[in-house]
Amino acid sequence: MAKAKFVGNKETKMCHVSGCGALKNIKKSNRENFSSCKIAQKKGYKCCKLCGKK
Ligand SMILES: [Zn+2]
């Protein structure tokens, strides 16, 4: 399985690029991995504005 490039926060419904500083504040149980931000958006997530820039 490929490494997840994006991590969603189930609590805030925000999707972060893996490596985003905000991720360390997310509990493991609140994390959801995505291979792309678009997939996360389909599940109701919003992309983090700090790290979501391409
Ligand atoms: Zn972020």
- Express each pLDDT in 3-37 by its tens digit: 669 999 999 999 999 889 999 999 999 999 999 98
- Between the CA of 2 and the centroid of ligand 1 the distance, in Å, is 20
Structure tokens at 5: 């490039």
- Between the CA of 40 and the centroid of ligand 1 the distance, in Å, is 13
- Between the CA of 5 and the centroid of ligand 1 the distance, in Å, is 12
pLDDT of residue 3: 65
Q: What is the pTM of this model?
A: 0.82
pLDDT of residue 4: 66
For 1-54, where are the alpha helices, taking DSSP H only?
A: 37-42
- Between the CA of 8 and the centroid of ligand 1 the distance, in Å, is 9
- Nearest to 45, CA basis, from 18, 10, 20, 19: 10
Range 33-53 average pLDDT:
88
